[in-house]
Amino acid sequence: MDLLNTLLDKGLRRELPTRDEALAVLATSDDELLDVVAAAGKVRRQWFGRRVKLNYLVNLKSGLCPEDCSYCSQRLGSKAEILKYTWLKPDQASEAAAAGLAGGAKRVCLVASGRGPTDRDVDRVSDTIKAIKDQNEGVEVCACLGLLSDGQAERLRDAGADAYNHNLNTSESTYGDITTTHTYADRVDTVQKAHAAGLSACSGLIAGMGESDEDLVDVVYALRALDPDSVPVNFLIPFEGTPLAKEWNLTPQRCLRILAMVRFVCPDVEVRIAGGREVHLRTMQPLALHLANSIFLGDYLTSEGQAGKADLDMIADAGFEVEGTGEVTLPEHRATAHAGCGSHAGADAGTDAGADAGADAGCGSHAGGGCGPCGSADREPPRKEPVSEARTDLVSVRRRGAGTDLAPNA
């Protein structure tokens, strides 16, 4: 298949595909799916071998968020029956993190609901980072606290944080349909603040919210322009009690195509399968390891994942190995220079990050959500994905771990 040969060659050279090529990945047929996985898998192995990095989430403060993000069970007005609690104390958070680290995780992700941290919140998280690092040599800590104000990223870095996560989630042109209490530009600004402070930037997307193929390509190209070191790919968990509870748009095949497209666009970046993999990939999860080099171990913020031992067995059975704490995740050129997946255009791009990425691809500005085909005029129209069966039986609200008296899943 000429498309896959072209994408493979570009991935091995860290060259940006055209938008038309990225869209074509999403439009491949089920008959071509294993070929897509094989080609993207070669790119993954070129830069990350057969290593799988394990990450572990600790929800420091759950629920009661003033933001109205439609996908989130912790949002303003959410009727989802999730755990709600205020800030964990540093020793409680460190105890929660220890379970994931004992299970093989090398990065702990500290997450708190809310628009963004106050200065007092930054102090709390700084104390938590110190507590975790004092007890676990070599652990990486990523903070995810919402929108950052000036100087807060630097304070987190000085406290020992290694990375900061803030996802773009969806395309700029559709962002207002998902969230109204803050803007896409606010999110871009926070990723840039993390970059500027010397933190490893982590920013990704949520698939399955009713977006088009063009939206998915737009957000991934915008991410490449922002140049994060890691890109989490979340698959919407349609929680009852949220506005997107009826959005069951993903099939396992669709999820694999999305992961492959992300790998081709950002070949040397840590691509992480994040929330929703058990719900939407289901028995196809092992195939996804050929595309992504990173997963979350155990449970998520407000939902339960599969058993930690099942994650470890899956990795081993698929012929992969857990990345050790002494191993460097990123390829040498990124680890030493924070360069490679994009040109740091995002540092100056502001809300035009998506447009700049499209321009790099050679097909002009895409800030409005797409410019039509850039390649062959006789390409078939995009194939409509089948509607996925609602699998509410696979959505389990977290009732263990942080904020409870029950042992965590790790």
Where do the DSSP E strands lie in 182-283? Answer: 200-202, 205-207, 230-235, 270-273
Q: In the structure, what pLDDT confidence band is assigned to residue 72 with cuts at 50, 70 and 90?
A: confident
72 given a catalytic annotation: yes
Quote the percentage of the chain above a pLDDT of 70: 87
Report the first-to-last Cα separation within the chain, whole angstroms: 41
**341 catalytic per annotation:** no
| DSSP 8-state code for residue 65 | -
Cα 11 to Cα 267: distance, rounded to the nearest angstrom = 5
- The pLDDT score that the predictor gives to residue 338 is 52
Return the beta strands (E) in 260-400 as ranges: 270-273, 294-296, 321-322
Per annotation, catalytic residue among 202, 255, 266, 341: 202
| Contact (CB, 8 A) for 205 and 184 | no
Active site residue 371: no
Residue 150 has pLDDT above 60, yes or no: yes
Kindly list the distances between the CA atom of residue 336 and the CA atoms of 265, 327, 332, in Å, as whole numbers in the listed order: 21, 14, 6
pLDDT at position 385 is 56
pLDDT at 121 over 80: yes
Nearest to 365 by CA among 375, 356, 374, 373: 356
pLDDT tens readout for residues 325-362:
999 999 999 988 653 333 333 333 333 333 333 333 33
pTM summary value: 0.86
From the candidates 14, 19, 69, 341, which is the catalytic residue?
Answer: 69
Which residue of the set 44, 65, 157, 341 is catalytic? 65
- Nearest Cα neighbor of 404 from 40, 59, 71 is 59
Q: Evaluate whether 73 touches 82 at the Cβ level (below 8 Å).
A: yes
User: 144 φ, ψ to 5°?
Assistant: -140, 95
Tokens of 218: 């737009």
Q: 12-332+380-394: what fold?
A: TIM Barrel (3.20.20)
**Strand residue runs (E) in 113-214:** 140-144, 163-165, 200-202, 205-207
**Residue 109 appears among annotated catalytic residues:** yes
Distances (CA, A) of 239 to 163, 275, 335: 28, 12, 37
Element (H, E) at 57: strand 51-61
Rounded CA separation 169/233 (Å): 9
Q: Which candidate in 72, 144, 266, 341 is catalytic?
A: 72
Q: What is the mean pLDDT of the chain?
A: 87
Does 254 participate in catalysis according to the annotation?
no
d(CA 217, CA 240) in angstroms, rounded, equals 28
Number of helical (H) and strand (E) elements in the chain, helices listed first: 16, 10
202 in catalytic set:
yes
User: Among 19, 51, 109, 157, which one carries the catalytic annotation?
Assistant: 109
Instruction: State the helix-helix crossing angle for 152-159 and 119-135, rounded to 10 degrees.
Output: 20
